[in-house]
Amino acid sequence: MADQENNKKGQIWAFLITGIVILISLLYYKANIYYMYLVAYMWFGFAYGMMLQYGRFCFASASRDLFAAGVPRMAVGILVALIFFSLIQATLASTNMSTFHPAPFGIHTLISGMIFGVGMVLAGGCASGSLYKIGEGNGTSFLAAFFGLCIGQAVFVDVKWFNFLIPQKWVDSALAKGLPADKMTSSFDTYLAGYVWNQPTLQMSHTKAISDAFPGALKYFVGDSLLNALIPATVLLIVIYWVWIRKGFMKKRAKQKGGATGFGDELAGLWNMITASKRTTLMGVLIGIVAGLHIFVMKGLQIKFGVGNFGQLLTRMGHTGDVSIRGTVFDPGYWYITSQEGQLGAWILEKFGWNMRDNIFFGINNGLPEPWRNPALWMSLGIIFGAMAMARLNNEFKFKLPKGELIAWGLIGGLLMGWGSRPALGCNIGAFFIRVAGGDPSGWLYGIGMVGGAFIGVKFFNWWSERKMAKEMEAF
Amino acid sequence: MAMKFEKTGEGAYMLDVCGYVCPHPQIYCKKSLEKMNEGDVVEVILDNPSSVETITQMCEQVGHEVLDKKTEGGKIYMKIKKG
């Protein structure tokens, strides 16, 4: 009886949340048709949130649960999503409907991934994972997202604290770019203009070898999808099966069959691993497809409105204070987390008198729109709303205030995620998932760093929990 | 909020990780099972839904048996027999 009542309450809440998102959409539509661009981001965010929550989809748990509990559920889900997303990315690129662009390739990507990897394990969720967990009522995730991704990230790009790490040649190279002096004041600015921008970008389909061998649309399918995503993802699935699953599965299989096992059993084992958590794998497929559709819709809206960035629409509407000196705002055109949280952090800090526009990140590249006119921020809010609706539907919403050690882990982890996402210009989504599927090998570099960082984080938690268990067991 | 791991009887244990988020519940659950003998049963109490998914798969892989799983008042109760 109580369960039925809770189910009904959950359903009402889910309808209420969805109704609020519909109402917001209608208000924006009434204000100006250009805001449909922003509304599209919000609804894709809503869809991501629902899928992430239902599939318990979190990039942190992909490597963390492998190392901590030997469970490959999430790693499999992500690789499945990657496979589907890369195929759609290739289709969109071949029809000139992709918004993807590769990132500068260098060792900074690996280091950045590693810092982020430690952070996401400590915080208990990756960038998008933290957002969907806020939707479940998780206070630790809120701490990580607010103080780490929002405030921590904004401070990181605006301070001079890291000047001691900057070599003179970066300073010289940055100055040679001729950027306005009042927009290049922080350590991160010198790093960006003096180092990152000098690094090459690499997209498999655009390499000479691939474009010569596979002219036309085929280069996207072979170079970007097959070589950069499908083959590595399949190899990783086999490695995960071999290291974590095979022994136990084959033992069970041999017992069932009462004898020797063969190649067919190996394939069955691999399939069993992929389908072990149906909800995660199913959401992996859906997330891959929706992420592709998201690119298609954003590109379609850009064509419809005749723009390449939402900043142009803001300018047309007269909101010139929102945009950077290039007339742009942060508008990735696909699933992306972290930069928009940094913008929210900067917006808050500005209210306390901090000049946040005297740097490249906000002043030249991403602008600093009011939060209600920030397209990517609406995607993040959409994720929270979508996850909340799904959690309410499944009676899994619960306010959990962060207490004790979780406050420390949330804050430290959030800060490391914020700081770890900036040097590589993205997080687990923007720097790993999107890049790998788009044919940019630097995505794998970030992924390797992220897994390495997660390993360190898990080692630390193992040591920590072992200490606590020993204390608990003193009593018996 | 504090993690509790108690012996509640002969071969019976209770692990309370309510309030904890990932990855703590699954790590504590794994460590508790490592400390127990084969055939012992632990009741795990948690309120982090995504950990349940991981713990269930971990038990299946290693050969532990999930005897019971129920949700009451926002808390999830799992009874696991070490295999």
d(CA A37, CA A42): 9
Note whether B35 and A473 are within 8 A (CB): yes
- Cis before B23? omega within 30: yes
CA distances from A124 to A385, A386, A458 (A): 20, 20, 11
Tokens at residue A298, please?
């954003």
φ and ψ of B80, to 5 deg: -125, 130
Q: Contact A276/B60, CB-based, under 8 Å? A: yes
From the list A133, A276, A461, which residue is nearest B23 (CB)?
A461
Sign of CA dihedral A339, A340, A343, A344: negative
Give the other-Cβ count within 10 Å of A470's Cβ: 11
Q: What angle do CA A434, A215, A83 make, to 5 degrees?
A: 30
Annotated catalytic residues of B are 22
Q: Which of residues 379-408 of A touch B (CB under 8 A)?
A: 391, 394-396, 398, 400, 403-404, 406
Q: Contact B31/A469, CB-based, under 8 Å? A: yes
Give the tens place of pLDDT for each residue, A121-155.
Answer: 999 999 999 999 999 999 999 999 999 999 999 99
Give the tens place of pLDDT for each residue, A195-234.
Answer: 999 999 999 999 999 999 999 999 999 999 999 999 999 9
Collapse the DSSP code of B17 into the 3-class scheme (helix H, G, I; strand E, B; otherwise coil) and give the result: coil
The strand pairing partners of B6, in sequence order, are: B14
Q: Contact B35/A473, CB-based, under 8 Å? A: yes
Tokens at residue A433, please?
């998932």
Give the tens place of pLDDT for each residue, A61-89.
Answer: 888 889 888 899 899 999 999 999 999 99
From the list B5, B23, B29, which residue is nearest A473 (CB)?
B5
pLDDT of residue A1: 61
Collapse the DSSP code of A161 into the 3-class scheme (helix H, G, I; strand E, B; otherwise coil) and give the result: coil
φ and ψ of B41, to 5 deg: -120, 135
pLDDT of residue A12: 96
Collapse the DSSP code of A342 into the 3-class scheme (helix H, G, I; strand E, B; otherwise coil) and give the result: helix
- Interfacial residues of B (vs A; Cβ cutoff 8 Å): 1-7, 19-24, 26-32, 35, 47, 49-50, 53-55, 57-58, 60-63, 71, 74
Q: How far does the CA of residue A157 sit from the closest CA of chain B (Å)? A: 29
| Alpha-helix runs per DSSP H in A308-404 | 310-316, 339-351, 375-393
Q: How confident is the model at residue A10 (pLDDT cuts 50, 70, 90)?
A: very high
Note whether A146 and A380 are within 8 A (CB): no
Which single residue is written with the structure tokens 């920590």? Answer: A464
Tokens at residue A32, please?
């100006």
Give the tens place of pLDDT for each residue, A376-391.
Answer: 999 999 999 999 999 9
Q: What is the ipTM of this complex?
A: 0.89
pLDDT of residue A274: 93
d(CA A235, CA A256): 28
Sign of CA dihedral A326, A418, A187, A199: negative
Q: Which of residues 148-177 of A touch B (CB under 8 A)?
A: none
d(CA A18, CA A389): 7
From the list A61, A244, A276, which residue is nearest B22 (CB)?
A61
Note whether A136 and A397 are within 8 A (CB): yes
Note whether A402 and A410 are within 8 A (CB): yes
The residue range of the domain holding A258 is: 2-475
* pLDDT (mean) for A437-463: 96
Chain A hits for B57, Cβ within 8 Å: 71, 73, 276-277
Give the tens place of pLDDT for each residue, A295-350.
Answer: 999 999 999 999 999 999 999 999 999 999 999 999 999 999 999 999 999 999 99
From the list B23, B31, B74, which residue is nearest A124 (CB)?
B23
What's the structural domain count of chain A? 1
Tokens at residue A83, please?
């496979």
